[in-house]
Amino acid sequence: MAEDPKIKNIKAKEISDSRGNPTIEVNLQTNFGNFKASVPAGVSTGKCEAVNVDIKKAVENVEKIIAPELKDKELRSQKEIDKTLIELDTTQNKSRLGANAILGVSIAACRAAAVSKKIPLYQYISQIAEDIPSQVLPKPSFNMFEGGKHGEESISFQEFMLIPQKDTFKENLEAGKKIYKKLGDILKNKFKEVKLSSEGALTTSVGKITEVLDLILEAAEKTGEKDNVKIAIDAAASEFFQDSSYKVDGRYLSKKELKEFYKDLVAKYPVVSIEDPFYEEDFESFSELKEEIGDKVLIFGDDLTVSNARRINLAEENNSCSGLLLKPNQIGTITETIEAAKLAKSYGWKIMVSNRGGETEDDFIADLAVGVGAEFIKSGAPFTKERMAKYNRLLEIEKEIKNE
């Protein structure tokens, strides 16, 4: 390349996410091409997440504040670009410029830099992360059924996921699609109305949490995959926590009773991970659950940890987690996202890179998952274009790695 890779201008516009809500798309213009990024939004969010601003304001902030500052800047260092973005914002939670504005620019810059270096995006992310091997593909955790804020609210838990245990990503995706389709058939035979949730999963008025798990395993059995699957649960417990108790299956449970409920599920079903099992400030209950069943299941922090180093440190001090949900828009820049992953790994935690309830067709998190060596990725159901964009990108990466 004749001249050093430089940012020429940055444009932004409003687009719609998978829920039909407005979000932002950033177009980073360089001296060697244009690079786009679009930003998702959470439906169930943690209190300590970075703050999004109104989309019109986000677009204005990109074009009038961020673009002039980054114009003619070299794309050599993601850390330097993100440092500039953080300093421009001046707040702890990105509330001045908006995490949506900042992240769009951060992702687009990351994409552009990878192209300027003539390496795949996941490899560039791995270089930024330093010492993290990038040749491992994450296991997909497919969202099969949703309750809570994402789906049918009679079921408190938010996501019921299936993790196929095949050797390749391609085989896991095929198994996931097959079971998802079979589950749809079973639900349509048993219930009057079956809908799609915000993440493309199935949802209907099932009576109990155990019934949902039984139906998912029935679908796995009918496709000949029952012995090859594990279950992951995103309880998102802050969403059904009220007045010191948790509403589960129509009953109000104390935190101790909810802990016993989880223990029963783990004893009866092939559950390998539980995400946000308790209210997002209850580090102690997370810790007690980890103490009692942590040898059998991973305890993931999401609303608890919000991809934030300070919260991850708190969770480690309290022995609350063995896994981190990694979501770039919870923290706002790619550098901070990678730092969160590295910190969690230094504590021996597993990483699950995650989509959001309101998604776009941007597939960045697929490369992120490989780049930081994440053990898992969840991008919703193996359906709808916004969710499949990430899974399809992982298929491409698997092919690239095999052909190296």
pLDDT confidence of residue 136: 83
Establish if 133 belongs to a structural domain: no
336 known member of a binding site: no
pLDDT band with cut points at 50, 70 and 90 for residue 182: very high
Identity of residue 84: T
Taking alpha carbons only, the member of 271, 148, 263 closest to residue 216 is 271
- Please tell me whether residues 387 and 240 are part of one structural domain: yes
Model confidence over 45-66: pLDDT tens digits? 778 999 999 999 999 999 999 9
Establish if 310 belongs to a structural domain: yes
pLDDT confidence of residue 152: 67
- Please tell me whether residues 111 and 222 are part of one structural domain: no
pLDDT confidence of residue 145: 97
pLDDT confidence of residue 403: 85
When divided into structural domains, the chain yields a total of 2
pLDDT band with cut points at 50, 70 and 90 for residue 1: very low
> What's the rounded Cα separation, in Å, for the pair 310 and 287?
17
Higher-confidence position of 149 and 189: 189
List the beta bridge partners of residue 41. 358
- Please tell me whether residues 24 and 69 are part of one structural domain: yes
Span 328-345, average pLDDT: 97
Q: What is the residue range of 72's domain? A: 7-118
Q: Is 173 helix (H, G, I), strand (E, B) or coil?
A: helix
311 known member of a binding site: no
Which of 328-359 are b and which e, b meaning 16 or more Cβ less than 10 Å from the residue's Cβ? bbbbbbbbbbbbbbbbbbeeebbbbbbbbbbb
Q: Is 95 helix (H, G, I), strand (E, B) or coil?
A: coil
- Please tell me whether residues 104 and 58 are part of one structural domain: yes
302 known member of a binding site: yes
Token pair 């949902």: residue:
212
**Window from 106-115, 130-139, 180-189, 345-354 with minimum mean pLDDT:** 130-139
The answer to whether residues 122 and 367 touch, using CB atoms and an 8 Å cutoff, is yes
- φ/ψ of residue 29, rounded to 5: -100, 125
Residue 171 bears catalytic tag: no
Token pair 């998604």: residue:
359
158 known member of a binding site: yes
276 known member of a binding site: no
Residue 327 bears catalytic tag: yes
Establish if 197 belongs to a structural domain: yes
pLDDT band with cut points at 50, 70 and 90 for residue 148: confident
- Please tell me whether residues 236 and 101 are part of one structural domain: no
> What's the rounded Cα separation, in Å, for the pair 96 and 99?
9
17 known member of a binding site: no
> What's the rounded Cα separation, in Å, for the pair 150 and 170?
27
> What's the rounded Cα separation, in Å, for the pair 386 and 143?
13
- Please tell me whether residues 98 and 217 are part of one structural domain: no
* Residue 133 pLDDT greater than 80, yes or no: no
With the CA atoms of 345, 91, 108 and 398 taken in that order, what torsion angle do they form, in degrees rounded to the nearest 10? 20
The answer to whether residues 359 and 150 touch, using CB atoms and an 8 Å cutoff, is no
Catalytic residue among 327, 342, 345, 390: 327
- Please tell me whether residues 284 and 377 are part of one structural domain: yes
Mean pLDDT of the chain: 95
CA distances from 230 to 142, 179, 252 (A): 11, 12, 28
pLDDT band with cut points at 50, 70 and 90 for residue 44: low
Model confidence over 274-322: pLDDT tens digits? 999 999 999 999 999 999 999 999 999 999 999 999 999 999 999 999 9
Establish if 231 belongs to a structural domain: yes
Span 353-368, average pLDDT: 95
Q: Pairing between strand 323-326 and 350-354?
A: parallel
Establish if 127 belongs to a structural domain: no
> What's the rounded Cα separation, in Å, for the pair 239 and 247?
10
> What's the rounded Cα separation, in Å, for the pair 297 and 131?
27
- Please tell me whether residues 335 and 369 are part of one structural domain: yes
pLDDT band with cut points at 50, 70 and 90 for residue 150: low
Establish if 124 belongs to a structural domain: no
Q: Which percentage of the chain shows pLDDT scores above 70?
A: 97
* Residue 2 pLDDT greater than 60, yes or no: no
Question: What is the domain-level CATH number for residue 93?
Answer: 3.30.390.10
Span 216-245, average pLDDT: 97
* Residue 105 pLDDT greater than 70, yes or no: yes
Catalytic residue among 199, 239, 316, 339: 199
**Window from 39-48, 76-85, 384-393 with minimum mean pLDDT:** 39-48
Establish if 132 belongs to a structural domain: no
Establish if 252 belongs to a structural domain: yes
Q: Which percentage of the chain shows pLDDT scores above 90?
A: 89
Question: What is the domain-level CATH number for residue 358?
Answer: 3.20.20.120
290 known member of a binding site: no
- Please tell me whether residues 114 and 174 are part of one structural domain: no
pLDDT confidence of residue 42: 76
- φ/ψ of residue 162, rounded to 5: -120, 130
- Tell me the DSSP string of 290-338: HHHHTTTSEEEESTTTTT-HHHHHHHHHTT--SEEEE-HHHH-SHHHHH
- Please tell me whether residues 86 and 215 are part of one structural domain: no
